[in-house]
């Protein structure tokens, strides 16, 4: 993985995002596999560079797979689907290695953001916004999500659809479900992938994605596909792989279902009084949301309250007087930049539970613009 990092900045970014993830779709990140990387070699590959598993791994996996197949049958998935989907599936050693060796947080927010928000990515985002404006406006009207946010997420996940991850997701999900780190999460995702096949939502050759199973231009996990993907053009298929309307509507529907407010933005960078910076930890929420990044936000307060506590716009001027609830976030703790974020920011964190991701979506959406 580190070898690829040097070659492909986007892969590194995606891996970095992944390291911070905990949300429903965010066990993985977007654009985490470059089209040039190709399918990940299987454990049984004979390449000298590929580690061979101990025989006991194969035996343990075979037992696990037998149990999973029986479970899938009990859950009503047709035997033919199960047999076809899981034929010749083996644990993928490289995926186990990636999952167990996710890199430390070494990027700063500035570096991270500058690698995602390049002049090219901004220019392409603006061009896509113009190219698809009528479609995006229609989607925005239905779901109440501003086009610039849909385009920003699309751009960050798969570079506006240009990146097409090519790892078969069934072996990837089976490997991660068999692994001991997060078996329940990935077992459910594998089951949902089988449901997609059983229902004819996708064919097995179409089920390609990132190394951890995120699919299509919005990088949905199978469970997110089942729950949130949309058939915008009404052709009977929720095509998050190729159909722009389906892609946009699926992203918008996901955000809308996570509480998006179409007449608010995401937040803004701010200046803090020094004592507020030091005392931030005392203001953090006590609840557990399932997303660590959300738990690290402060309890929401009104803008006038934050103003009274010493928060200002970046230029030092007073905050807007608008009656809106905001939380304070400092993703790099006491030394880094501070942001006041609104309700929509949490919706972005539900898409991918990482502050760097959500802040970058916000910043890119501001630069793409368009309301
Ligand atoms: Ca469709």
Give 290-341 pLDDT, tens digit per residue: 898 998 899 999 999 999 999 999 999 999 988 899 999 988 876 689 999 9
- For the residues 243-263, what does the mean pLDDT come to? 97
In this model, does residue 30 exceed pLDDT 70? no
- Under 8 Å between Cβ of 124 and 82: no
Domains contained in the chain, number: 2
| Residues 33, 77 within the same domain | yes
| Residues 241, 294 within the same domain | no
| Residues 179, 288 within the same domain | no
Question: Does 363 reside within a domain?
Answer: no
192 C-alpha vs ligand 1 centroid, how far in Å? 19
Question: Does 365 reside within a domain?
Answer: no
Among 229, 260, 291, which residue terminates a domain? 260
- For the residues 335-362, what does the mean pLDDT come to? 94
Catalytic residue among 157, 275, 305, 346: 157
| Residues 81, 221 within the same domain | yes
pLDDT at 277: 80
With a CB cutoff of 8 Å and minimum separation 6, the contacts of 307 are 318, 319
Q: Is the pTM of this model over 0.95?
A: no
245 C-alpha vs ligand 1 centroid, how far in Å? 7
Q: List the structure tokens of 339.
A: 């942001």
Return mean pLDDT, the chain: 83
Question: Does 12 reside within a domain?
Answer: yes
Domain that holds residue 237: 1-260
| Residues 225, 145 within the same domain | yes
| Residues 143, 211 within the same domain | yes
CA 350 – CA 333 distance, rounded (Å):
21
In this model, does residue 225 exceed pLDDT 90? yes
| Residues 41, 140 within the same domain | yes
| Residues 140, 251 within the same domain | yes
353 sits in which H/E element: none
Name the pLDDT band for 8 (thresholds 50, 70, 90): very low
| Residues 240, 275 within the same domain | no
Chain Cα centroid distance, residue 142: 23
Question: Does 357 reside within a domain?
Answer: no
Report the DSSP beta bridge partners of residue 167. 209
Among 260, 292, 317, which residue terminates a domain? 260
With a CB cutoff of 8 Å and minimum separation 6, the contacts of 145 are 139, 251, 252, 255, 256, 260, 262
241 C-alpha vs ligand 1 centroid, how far in Å? 10
Nearest to 310 by CA among 343, 287, 283, 331: 283
Q: List the structure tokens of 245.
A: 């309307």
Question: Does 371 reside within a domain?
Answer: no
271 sits in which H/E element: strand 267-272
- Under 8 Å between Cβ of 240 and 253: no
pLDDT at 33: 27
CA 241 – CA 247 distance, rounded (Å):
7
Name the pLDDT band for 212 (thresholds 50, 70, 90): confident
Percent of the chain with pLDDT over 90: 63
Name the pLDDT band for 37 (thresholds 50, 70, 90): very low
CA 228 – CA 207 distance, rounded (Å):
17
| Residues 108, 227 within the same domain | yes
In this model, does residue 192 exceed pLDDT 50? yes
| Residues 251, 152 within the same domain | yes
Residues at Cβ < 5 Å from ligand 1 ion: 231, 233, 235, 237, 239, 243, 246
Question: Does 362 reside within a domain?
Answer: no
251 C-alpha vs ligand 1 centroid, how far in Å? 14
| Residues 227, 337 within the same domain | no
Question: Does 192 reside within a domain?
Answer: yes
Known catalytic residue: 278? no
240 C-alpha vs ligand 1 centroid, how far in Å? 8
């Amino acid at each position: 993985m580190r070898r690829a990092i040097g070659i492909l900045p986007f892969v590194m970014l995606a891996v970095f995002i992944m390291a911070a993830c905990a949300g429903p779709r965010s066990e993985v990140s977007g654009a985490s596999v470059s089209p040039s990387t190709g399918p990940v070699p299987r454990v049984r590959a004979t390449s000298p560079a590929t580690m061979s598993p101990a025989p006991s791994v194969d035996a343990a996996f075979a037992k696990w797979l037998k149990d999973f197949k029986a479970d899938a049958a009990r859950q009503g998935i047709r035997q033919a689907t199960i047999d076809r989907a899981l034929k010749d599936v083996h644990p993928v050693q490289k995926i186990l290695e990636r999952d167990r060796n996710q890199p430390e947080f070494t990027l700063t927010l500035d570096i991270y953001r500058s690698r995602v928000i390049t002049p090219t990515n901004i220019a392409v985002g603006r061009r896509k916004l113009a190219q698809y404006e009528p479609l995006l406006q229609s989607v925005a009207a239905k779901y109440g999500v501003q086009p610039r946010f849909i385009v920003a997420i699309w751009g960050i996940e798969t570079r506006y659809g240009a990146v097409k991850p090519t790892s078969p997701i069934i072996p990837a999900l089976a490997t991660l479900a068999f692994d001991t780190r997060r078996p329940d999460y990935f077992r459910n995702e594998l089951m949902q992938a089988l449901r997609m096949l059983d229902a004819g939502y996708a064919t097995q050759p179409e089920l390609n994605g990132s190394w951890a199973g995120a699919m299509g231009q919005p990088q949905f996990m199978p469970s997110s596909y089942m729950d949130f993907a949309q058939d915008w053009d009404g052709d009977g298929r929720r095509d998050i792989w190729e159909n722009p309307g389906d892609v946009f509507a699926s992203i918008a529907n996901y955000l809308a279902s996570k509480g998006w407010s179409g007449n608010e933005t995401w937040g803004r960078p701010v200046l803090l009084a020094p004592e507020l910076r030091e005392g931030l930890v005392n203001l953090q929420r006590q609840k557990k949301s399932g997303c660590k990044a959300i738990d690290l936000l402060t309890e929401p307060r009104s803008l006038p309250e934050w103003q009274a506590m010493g928060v200002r716009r970046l230029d030092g001027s007073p905050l807007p007087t608008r009656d809106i609830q905001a939380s304070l976030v400092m993703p790099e703790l006491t030394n880094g930049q501070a942001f006041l974020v609104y309700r929509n920011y949490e919706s972005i964190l539900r898409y991918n539970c990482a502050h760097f991701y959500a802040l970058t979506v916000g910043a890119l959406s501001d630069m793409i613009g368009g309301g």
